[in-house]
Amino acid sequence: MANLQQLNVDTIKIDRAFTGTVGTASVKVSIVPQILDLADALKLGVIVEGIETEEQRDYFAAADVSYAGQGWFISPPLTFAQLVIFHKERRGL
């Protein structure tokens, strides 16, 4: 963690192992707010992997960080061409 500030990164990714704990009694869920606080303090974007429920989506949407989510709740896996169409549709282009 001490070296994180020295890395030339602008985004961190939260693994689905942590995302899956949101809304549960798992001990790992207590790490998620600290990851988000760290990202906020370092002005890092966040990619949240494995969003599979509305509760998980709402949890990260309520966080005070810039985030992008991926997972079955948002979309099944897409080819690049499908991804371009997906983004155009979501942005109303």
Q: Look up the pTM and report it.
A: 0.79
| Predicted local confidence at residue 93, as pLDDT | 56
> Hey, how many other C-beta atoms are within 10 angstroms of the C-beta on 12?
17
Residues 32/14, Cβ–Cβ less than 8 Å: yes
Pick from 22, 24, 46: which is nearest to 35 by CA?
46
Give tens-digit pLDDT for 24-81: 877 777 789 999 998 888 888 999 999 999 999 999 998 888 888 999 998 899 999 9
